Amino acid sequence: MPNARGGPPSAARVLSALIIPLLAACGGDRGGGGEERPEKAAAEETPQRGGTAVTAELTDMVHPLPIVYQSEMDSDLVDVMYMGLIRPVWREGRLVYLTSNDSPMALAWHWEYAGADSSALRFRMKSGLRWSDGRPITAQDVAWTYRAIKDPRTASPRAQDLAQLDSVVTENDSVVVFHFRRRNPEMLFTTSIAIAPRHVYEGTPLERLGTHPGFSRPDSLVVSGPFRIGSRRPGEQITLVPNAAFSVPPLLDRIVIRIIPEPTTRLAELRTGNVDMVKAIGFDQVADLRQRAPNLRFASIEKRYWEYVAYNPRPGSAFADPRVRRALGQALDVEGMIKGLHMEPFTTRAAGPYAPIFRDLYDPARMRPLPHDPEGARRMLEAAGWRDADGDGVREKDGKPLRFTLVTNTGNQRRADVAQVMQQQWKAVGADMRFQQLEFNTFQQRQATRDFEALLGSWGVNLSPDITPLFAPEAPFNIISFTDSAAVRLMREAKEEETAEAANPLWRAAAERIVREQPYTWLYYYDIVVGLGERLRGVRVDTFGAYQNSWEWWIPASRRREGAAEVADTAPDTAKEEG
């Protein structure tokens, strides 16, 4: 299910597009050369306690609470600071839900279907769990969290995920039962939301949860995960320190999250070793960085995003005819764009709404990317009645030229580059595209009100197969006014199914129908690239993000920074060893 777009605009991004190539020209990094002694190398592969990891993020935190968070920074902090009943992980193309037997981030050791029609889920929580303030984590915390999310007054961005949830009932302090309106494949997904401490927030009116005074004093936030906020300098840095109540003591003494909005500066800090992890590195930077800074490693938050051209098929528009949309898709050499704009290996050619990471939904046999076939595109446009009668290079039909404006948001150099390539390739088949970049809020408003002819954007997809928010006729984000009745029927039937096994074939069939109509030209699925410095070890980056296993991060003692911070970090360790 989609949940995000290509990110807000930033003057910094525009600047970085001009400047980043200069980073590569700044010479190679020192270090990395020479042979290491075997015992030193072995010591560097064994997890050790102590040290400070430094990560760089684009924006500061707002309100990292499972009930109200929305920004990416808050989402990462929630991953680090709060546990859920079960821990969702992505394994071999499928969502898997771990209990506390397999993950320290899960509160429940057991779950089972309940009720005569298996429309309820019963969770048994591990005993002895405590919040960072020492209070026990109970089933009442779970029930309150879900009630708060569901309550309309809260205006929680998670509320829609609980559409099928009827009630949450506690049987005792450690057993909680989720009653759904009917059995559905999303039940476990629904129950995997992180839990907030009821005793802290219960007294706050729900409509004011987002402005709880605790967010002004984040070192007082009560958490259940491996780290809590030790200190914060707004706009500059957030220091995470271990939560003593977490079942597995984190290996690191601190994680310092520094707020650095400018991508060039973030990369410079990564290369100088002042920062150990940076997210959202430009695809075109990676090859250069690999060459210039061989000590850096790169990982991907995998292909949950697809970039598209959306067409508005309003009456009288050329895009009302699916042949025109298909022809424009065929005119594009997307593989060439991926190679030419150095987006490999973090992008792959897209064919439809399900990315390849969805093993049960991505069907390359039935959803193939459109071939790059300019000649076929010309023939298709001819067949649709679009001919260049006056020889000016632009096709016409009924006296109207095949001319349209493609809008996108400012601050995204990738989209600007792709739009320029598309403009040339469409021109070659007789379509005249004008390109317009809009300030993000204006772009978003034009998108929401369907006030565009063609639009270049991207969707970030959630891990649910439900694509109705983008394609159901009544959905506000059906920006392409999709109405194909067969696809709509298939999606409705899929939503009625009780199990994923029964629903998935219907979702696949619906996707196939959608792709046949080509309401979008799917360009490519893309990753978020994470750069890791040589010091930081044990980081697992997956489709859920980069902070998934923060308690397992570690830094070899020999690689810790010189200076007061690291001296302070190592001191407790030494004391422990001596003790």
Partner 1 sequence: MIGYLAKRILGAIPLLLGILTIIFFIIHLAPGDPTARFVSPNVSPQVIEQMRRNLGLDQPLHIQYVKWLWSFIRGDFGYSFGQMRPINEILPEVLWNTVQLTFVSLVVIFAVGMLIGIVQAVRQYSIADNVLTFVALFFYSMPSFWFALMLILIFSLKANQSGWFFQFPASGMTDVGYEFMGTGEKIMDRIRHLVLPATALGIGSAAGVARYMRGSMLEVIHQDFIRTARAKGLSERTVVFKHALRNALIPIITLLGLYLPFLLSGAVLVETIFGWPGMGRAIVDAILQRDYPMVMATSFVIAAIVVMGNLLSDVLYAVVDPRIRTE
Residues 458 and 1 sit within 8 Å (Cβ to Cβ)? no
Alpha-carbon distance 428 to 519, whole Å?
22
Classify burial at 272, counting beta carbons within 10 Å of its beta carbon; exposed 0-12, middle 13-18, buried 19 or more.
Answer: exposed
Judged by beta carbon, residue 110 or residue 208, the one nearer partner 1 is 208
Per-residue x/- track, 437-456, partner 1 (CB under 8 A): --xxxx-xx--x--------
Per CB under 8 A, 237 contacts partner 1: yes
Per CB under 8 A, 62 contacts partner 1: yes
Piece in contact with partner 1 (CB under 8 A), picked from 184-192, 195-203, 307-315, 560-568: 560-568
Piece in contact with partner 1 (CB under 8 A), picked from 76-84, 108-116, 228-236, 356-364: 228-236
Alpha-carbon distance 219 to 108, whole Å?
27
Alpha-carbon distance 546 to 540, whole Å?
7
Single-letter amino acid code for the residue at 99: T
List the interface residues with partner 1, window 113-152 (CB under 8 A): 152
Figure out which of the listed residues 172, 272, 405, 420 binds partner 1, where binding follows CB under 8 A: 272
Minimum Å gap between C-beta 227 and partner 1 is 15
**φ and ψ of 576, to 5 deg:** -65, -45
Judged by beta carbon, residue 273 or residue 356, the one nearer partner 1 is 273
Piece in contact with partner 1 (CB under 8 A), picked from 60-68, 112-120, 196-204, 511-519: 60-68
Per CB under 8 A, 358 contacts partner 1: no
**φ and ψ of 5, to 5 deg:** -115, -170
List the interface residues with partner 1, window 178-217 (CB under 8 A): 207-208, 210-211, 215-216
Single-letter amino acid code for the residue at 391: G
Judged by beta carbon, residue 155 or residue 383, the one nearer partner 1 is 155
The structure tokens listed for 201 are: 């927030």
Q: Half-sphere exposure (CA, 13 Å, Cβ side) for 36?
A: 12
Report DSSP letters for 443-500, one per residue: HHHHHHTT--SEEEEEEEE-SS---HHHHSTT-TT-TT----HHHHHHHHHHHH-SSH
Per-residue x/- track, 22-51, partner 1 (CB under 8 A): xx--xxxxx---------------------
Figure out which of the listed residues 21, 36, 115, 160 binds partner 1, where binding follows CB under 8 A: 160
Report the 10 Å Cβ neighbour count for 578: 6
Judged by beta carbon, residue 136 or residue 469, the one nearer partner 1 is 469
Figure out which of the listed residues 235, 315, 316, 399 binds partner 1, where binding follows CB under 8 A: 235
Alpha-carbon distance 118 to 491, whole Å?
23
List the interface residues with partner 1, window 383-422 (CB under 8 A): none
Judged by beta carbon, residue 207 or residue 390, the one nearer partner 1 is 207
Per-residue x/- track, 467-506, partner 1 (CB under 8 A): --xx----xxx-----------------------------
